[in-house]
C-alpha cells in the first residue's frame, strides 16, 4: 500500500542558553520535523500533502543571549553538512534554506527551516543533522531623527555621517511613492523607519522592498498621502554594536515523541 505522507512533529525542546567562561552564547535547537511522501495524480504532483514537495524539513530555533537581540538570519550563508537517519540513509539532497526566517518581537528567538528532497528510510527511528546558522546580533539600538527631509529628487540628509538621498518622488493610485538611497552598510543597521508630517502626525507607510546593487541600497516606500508635501520628519531606529555569528549545531533526535 502506497503511503502518501508521514508527518511527525518533535517536542519543542527547552531552550537554555549555554555559558562559556561566564558569557552566554546563542543556542540552536530542533523545533519541529516534517516528512512528506510522494504526490499523487498527474506527474505525481497534482495532489501533494500539505501543499508541499516530497522531502524532509527541519525547523530550527535560535535563542540569543540576554544581552543581544537577533537582527536577522542570513539563510544564504547557512549550511547543512550532515543529515542522515540511523539506517545510514543520506538525506543531503537538494538542500534549501527557505521559509523566510522569522524573529520574535523581543528579538530573542529566530525560527528557520531547512528542507531536503530525500526522506528517511522506512523503519528509521532517529536522525542526525549538523551544520551552521549565520545571523547578525546587536547589543542595543538608538533612534535618529531628520527634522525636515525635503521631498525633492537629489535632496540629501545625513545620519551618523551616512548619507540618505531622495531618488524618486511621485504620486500613485495608492498614495505617494518615494525612493531613498543609502549605503549597503547603513541599510543593514536600520531596524525601522517612520515618517511624520511637518506638524508631527504619523504617516502610514508600506515598504515595497528593494534590491541592492553594489554599495547602493535603495529603500522604497508607499506613503498614505494624497499629495507631495514640502517636507517630512523622519525617525530611523538603528542597531548598534552589530556582529555576525556563525552558530554550529549538531542535532540527534528520535522520529517521534
CATH among 3.30.70, 2.60.40, 3.30.420, 1.10.1760 for 18-139+243-254: 2.60.40
**Domain locations in the chain?**
18-139+243-254, 152-229
CA dist 239 → 68, 142, 207 (Å): 11, 7, 19
State the CB neighbour count (10 A cutoff) for residue 37.
16
Q: Where are the beta strands (DSSP E) in 101-229?
A: 102-103, 109-116, 126-150, 156-159, 162-172, 175-183, 190-196, 202-203, 205-209, 216-223
pLDDT in tens, the chain (257 residues): 444 444 333 333 333 344 434 456 789 999 999 999 998 888 877 898 888 889 999 999 999 988 899 999 999 999 999 999 999 999 999 999 986 899 999 999 999 999 999 999 999 999 999 999 999 999 999 999 999 999 999 999 999 889 999 999 998 877 899 999 999 889 989 999 999 999 999 999 987 666 666 788 899 999 999 889 999 999 999 999 999 999 999 999 998 74
For the question of whether the overall pTM of this predicted structure is more than 0.75, the answer is yes
Amino acid at each position: 500500500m502506497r503511503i502518501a505522507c508521514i508527518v511527525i512533529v518533535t517536542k519543542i525542546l527547552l531552550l537554555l542558553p549555554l555559558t562559556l567562561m561566564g558569557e552566554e552564547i546563542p543556542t540552536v535547537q530542533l523545533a519541529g520535523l516534517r516528512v512528506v511522501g510522494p504526490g499523487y495524480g498527474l506527474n505525481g504532483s497534482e495532489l501533494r500533502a500539505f501543499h508541499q514537495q516530497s522531502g524532509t524539513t527541519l525547523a530550527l530555533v535560535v535563542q540569543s543571549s540576554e544581552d543581544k537581540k537577533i537582527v536577522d538570519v542570513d539563510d544564504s550563508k547557512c549550511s547543512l553538512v550532515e543529515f542522515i537517519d540511523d539506517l545510514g540513509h543520506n538525506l543531503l539532497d537538494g538542500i534549501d534554506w527557505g521559509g523566510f526566517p522569522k524573529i520574535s518581537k523581543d528579538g530573542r528567538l529566530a525560527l528557520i527551516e531547512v528542507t531536503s528532497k530525500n526522506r528517511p528510510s522506512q523503519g528509521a527511528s532517529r536522525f542526525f543533522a549538523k551544520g551552521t546558522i549565520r545571523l547578525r546580533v546587536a547589543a542595543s539600538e538608538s533612534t535618529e531623527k531628520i527634522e525636515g527631509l525635503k521631498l525633492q529628487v537629489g535632496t540629501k540628509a545625513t545620519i551618523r555621517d551616512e548619507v540618505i538621498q531622495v531618488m524618486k518622488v511621485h504620486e500613485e493610485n495608492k498614495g505617494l511613492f518615494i525612493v531613498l538611497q543609502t549605503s549597503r552598510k547603513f541599510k543593514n543597521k536600520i531596524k525601522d523607519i517612520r515618517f511624520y508630517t511637518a506638524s508631527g502626525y504619523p504617516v502610514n507607510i508600506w515598504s515595497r522592498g528593494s534590491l541592492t546593487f553594489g554599495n547602493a541600497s535603495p529603500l522604497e516606500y508607499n506613503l498614505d498621502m494624497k499629495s507631495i508635501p514640502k517636507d517630512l520628519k523622519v525617525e530611523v531606529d538603528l542597531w548598534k554594536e552589530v556582529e555576525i555569528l556563525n552558530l554550529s549545531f549538531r542535532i540527534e533526535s528520535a522520529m517521534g515523541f
